[in-house]
Structure formats: structure tokens, C-alpha cells
Structure 1
Amino acid sequence: MAMLQHTLGIFTNPDREWQRIRSDNETFLRVYLRHVPLLALIPCIAGYFGVTEVGWSVGAGGVVKLTAQSALMMAAAAYVAQLVAVYVLGEYINWMSRSFGVQDEASRRHYEGTALAVYSAIPMMLAGLVLLYPHMWLVVSVYIVAACYSVYLIYEGIPILMNIPKERGFIYASSVITVGLVLTVVVMVTTVIVWSSGIGPVYTS
């Protein structure tokens, strides 16, 4: 129930919800396992259906689809990438907490950073529903909006969760977003390397 309340709250009143998240008697492992494994399935399942059943077109060409096996491999890889990315980002936020003058209680709990990574990633995971209809410009537009809101959540959430001044929180949040971008680049480069090795997508004939 708390999962649903917090998920709705970060969309309706994020400042108030960050306060509630901070006051939760949770552990970093519990907040991670309650949200990420389930929510990360959304873009994977939607994407699998979209590329195998609906397909997409490039220019004036016909509809392109992937084989079920190829799509399943890509969905599984995307699922693992999401699990790893959110976990690594949460660990980075926790690790950097002392450098930005976070109070000892928050550093000791090792929870706030993971909670920030988890809840700020929710818009991106929910945006994965658009992959049911993988039209390029629709997907790009929805993900841009979701990414902007995730960035907003990070900037709003860090000063509240870490209990630090907004000025210091802005620098902290900027470093977190930089790491998030680096993780995105790493995933993209890894994808290119994997595809170059011959394990790329297989299209239906």
C-alpha cells in the first residue's frame, strides 16, 4: 500500500511525499526490492509486445517487427540494465552524502539515496507503457517528458531527503544527474558492443 501511495504522491505533491518517504522506517534493500523488480517489468513487457505484435515503420517503408526470441533477449537485457542502473545510482547518492554535509543519521541509515534513486526512476519506468505502440516520435516525446520530471524529482528530493540547504542540494543533485547520464551512456555503448558482436536484433521476414 505504501508503494502505491508514494508512487501517486510523487506525481501529485512531490515535496510532501519526499517528507513522508524520509520519515519511513525502511531499509535501502526493502525500498529497492518493493519497487524496482516489479516496475522495471513495465517497459520490458510493453516493449516486447510492441516490437513483436505491433511493430514500427521507418519512413515510407513497411512495418518492421522482431522475432519473439530476439525481442525476449532484448527485454531481458533491458530488465537487468534497469535493476543495475537504479542500484548503482542509489549507492552513489549514499556514498556522496558525507561529501555534501549530510547528517550522520541519514548516512548511517543508508536509505535516503536508494529511495531517491528508486522514486525518481518511477516516471521513466511508467513511461515504458508507450512502447506498446513503438512509434519513434511518440516514444521519444514521452521519454523526454518523463526524464524531465525525473530530473525535477531529484532536484526537489535531495534537499528534503538529505536535510541539507537547497543551495548545497542543487550541486549534489547536479552530480547525481551527471552520474545518471554516464550510466545511460554506458548502457548505450554496451548495447552497441553487443550488437556488433552479432547478438543484435533479428527481424521477421
Structure 2
Amino acid sequence: MNLVQRAININTQPRAEWARVDAEPATVAGLFTGYAVILALLPLIGTLLMGLLFGGVFGFSFVLVTGLVGYVVGLAVLFVMILIAKALAPSFGGTPSDIAAAKLLIYAATPVWLAGILNFIPGINIIVMLVGFGYAAYLLYLGSSIVMKIPADKAAAFTIVVVLIWIVLSFVVTAILGGIIVTALLGSAAMTGGYMLR
């Protein structure tokens, strides 16, 4: 199934689509290169549009760098979350599988990536992103029983744990990298200022 059809189906008919996802052959690498790395470009494009339209304090270069870093970090966190979801599955009665965990988390992230294209619209972007996150959690909940064989009575708990870990991990990594980027920019600005005073 092509990327566009999968993105439409997982959002409009998730139960039926999760069954198709579960049945089709896949590899972790194929799921990343054929789906995740492409759809994850949408928030980056939205961020770059924001930089072009509004600039901000640091200008487009800052937006470009932070956007690219966010893109790479987002995919890296997603990969770590696949490993975590696989490791958690047995505790909730599910089947530990790299491919099943990759299918679940990558396809469940679809609404977040789609919402990210609207990053350039102040105010609306936050609302749309929150809706995207909420729907992604719902997709994760639905897919956990089908793809990772989590018993229905444990699917909600599994979803809550995975989502909380994902939020905390994303926040911590983003805070660390954000601090590094800001420090580097301030250091660069201080050096430039020093040269101008000579």
C-alpha cells in the first residue's frame, strides 16, 4: 500500500487498517525509509514556512537549524520508543516484536506528522497539534491489541505508559539539545560582538 493511502486509511478507518498493517510483511528499516522519514518532513516544512513568514528573533537560520535538529531527534526518539514498546509488551501480555512495535508507533504517529504541516500558523498550530497527539494516542490504543497482541483489558494501560514515556523522553532530549543550540548561538553572537569591538 502506498504512503498516501496508508496515511488516509489509518486516520479514517483505523480498525480495518490496523488489521491490514498486522497482516502485511514489513521491516523496521522499510517502515522508517518508506514512511516515517517522509511524513516526518511535514512538521519540518511547516516550521520552515514559519521561519520564512515570521523570521523570529534569531532569523531563518535559527529556524532551519532547530527544524532540522527536531526532525532528526524526532526520528531518533521514535526509534528508541520502538525498542521501549517492544520491551514493555510482555509486561502487558503482548508479543515482543521489533517489527510489530515499529508498525504500531510509526503508523500511530501519522496524525502528529500531518498536523505538523500547520506549524506556520500561530495559535492554530498548537490546537491542531494537540488534536494530532490525542488522535495518535487513540490509534496507539486501537493498534496495540491488533498489532502487538496486547489483551484488550490491558491496552489502555499499555498506551498510557508508552505515551508518558514518549512525552518525557521527547521533552528531556529537546530540552538538552535546545540548551546546546542556544548556548552555541549565544557563544557565536558573543564572539562576533567581540570581533566587532576590536
Common fold: TM-score over 0.5:
yes
Q: Which residue of 2 aligns with 1:12?
A: 12
Amino acid at match of 1:14: P
Structure 1 residue 69 displacement after superposition: 2.2
SS at match of 2:162: helix
Q: Which residue of 1 aligns with 2:83?
A: 91
Asked whether the 8 Å contact 1:155–1:169 carries over to 2, the reply is yes
The answer for unaligned runs of 5 or more in structure 2 is 190-198
Q: Which residue of 1 aligns with 2:112?
A: 124
State whether structure 2 residue 63 is matched by structure 1 residue 71.
Answer: yes
* TM-score between both structures, scaled by the size of structure 2: 0.85
Matches of 2:158 and 2:63, distance apart in 1: 38
SS at match of 1:111: helix
SS at match of 1:156: helix
Structure 1 residue 199 displacement after superposition: 2.7
SS at match of 1:168: helix
Asked whether the 8 Å contact 2:92–2:151 carries over to 1, the reply is no
SS at match of 2:64: helix
Task: Count residues in correspondence.
Answer: 187
Matches of 1:102 and 1:121, distance apart in 2: 20
Structure 1 residue 132 displacement after superposition: 3.0
State whether structure 2 residue 178 is matched by structure 1 residue 186.
Answer: no
Q: Which residue of 2 aligns with 1:168?
A: 154
Q: Which residue of 1 aligns with 2:102?
A: 114
Cα distance change of structure 1 residues 70 and 154 upon mapping to structure 2, 3 Å threshold: same
Q: Which residue of 1 aligns with 2:194?
A: none
Structure 1 residue 17 displacement after superposition: 0.7
Matches of 2:100 and 2:107, distance apart in 1: 11
Amino acid at match of 2:54: G
Asked whether the 8 Å contact 1:32–1:115 carries over to 2, the reply is no
Amino acid at match of 1:110: D
Cα distance change of structure 1 residues 31 and 196 upon mapping to structure 2, 3 Å threshold: closer
Structure 1 residue 195 displacement after superposition: 4.4
Structure 1 residue 66 displacement after superposition: 4.5
Structure 1 residue 173 displacement after superposition: 1.4
Aligned-pair identity (%): 24
Asked whether the 8 Å contact 1:86–1:121 carries over to 2, the reply is no
Structure 1 residue 65 displacement after superposition: 5.9
Asked whether the 8 Å contact 1:54–1:65 carries over to 2, the reply is no
Q: Cα RMSD (Å) of the superposition? A: 2.0
1:130-183 residue CA offsets vs partner (Å, 9 max, x unmatched): 1233x1x21111111111101111111101112232112222112111111112
State whether structure 2 residue 147 is matched by structure 1 residue 155.
Answer: no
Matches of 2:171 and 2:61, distance apart in 1: 26
Matches of 2:166 and 2:138, distance apart in 1: 13
Structure 1 residue 110 displacement after superposition: 2.2
State whether structure 2 residue 39 is matched by structure 1 residue 39.
Answer: yes
The answer for unaligned runs of 5 or more in structure 1 is 57-63
